[in-house]
Amino acid sequence: YNEKGKLLKDIIKNAEDTSLQTEYEYNEYGILVSKVNYKDFKEIGREDTPEDEIQKQCQQFVDFCRGDNPKKGCKTNAGHRKIVSKSVRGIQLEGVPDIIIKTTNDYAVGDIYYPKTYVEYIGVYHYTPLNITKRIKVSEFKETNMPICK
């Protein structure tokens, strides 16, 4: 398993013939990339998932992550955007004032944010800006180590 709890490798013994095993290997998105068959711990066959099939499944993952419901667990940024504010909570981007992204990168106001990883939903908080009486709802996200698949 990786640090996010995703299964990366699994080995299954054949119930009828315990000398047969199959090893399944997955990428960080949970997509099967290879299946290797063993007999008495010696490789007897291998099936690799074609790259175009991996990319197709990866795109399905991306489409799922781009949904409007942030509680789906991941989200991509809608393109490259200018950073308009920075605080201890994170950065805010031009055009999306209701989202804050926690980042470990050292951005400055005015920089362009180029997302390289998915961001994960943290939660929502409300605050009242100094010059406005209306409370604002902000969704918080944090960068992950899961790269955006192309």
Q: Are 10 and 30 in contact (CB under 8 A)?
A: no
Tell me what pLDDT residue 3 has. Answer: 63
CA 31 – CA 18 distance, rounded (Å)? 26
Tens place of pLDDT per residue across the chain (150 aa) = 766 566 778 888 888 898 999 999 988 777 789 999 999 999 999 999 998 888 887 776 666 565 555 455 566 655 678 899 898 888 988 888 788 888 888 889 999 988 877 787 788 887 776 667 777 788 888 887 766 665
Is beta strand 91-93 parallel, antiparallel or unpaired with respect to 81-86? antiparallel
User: What is the number of alpha carbons within 13 Å of residue 59 lying toward its C-beta?
Assistant: 5
Tell me what pLDDT residue 27 has. Answer: 81
Q: Is the pTM of this model over 0.75?
A: no
Tell me what pLDDT residue 72 has. Answer: 52
Q: Are 100 and 75 in contact (CB under 8 A)?
A: no
Q: CA-CA-CA-CA torsion for 66, 69, 75, 79, nearest 10 degrees?
A: 60
Tell me what pLDDT residue 70 has. Answer: 47
C-alpha 104 chain-centroid distance = 16
Instruction: Please choose, from the candidates 17, 27, 29, 19, the residue with its C-alpha nearest in 3D space to the C-alpha of residue 48.
Output: 27
Phi-psi region of 41 (alpha: psi -120 to 50; beta: other; left: phi over 0): left
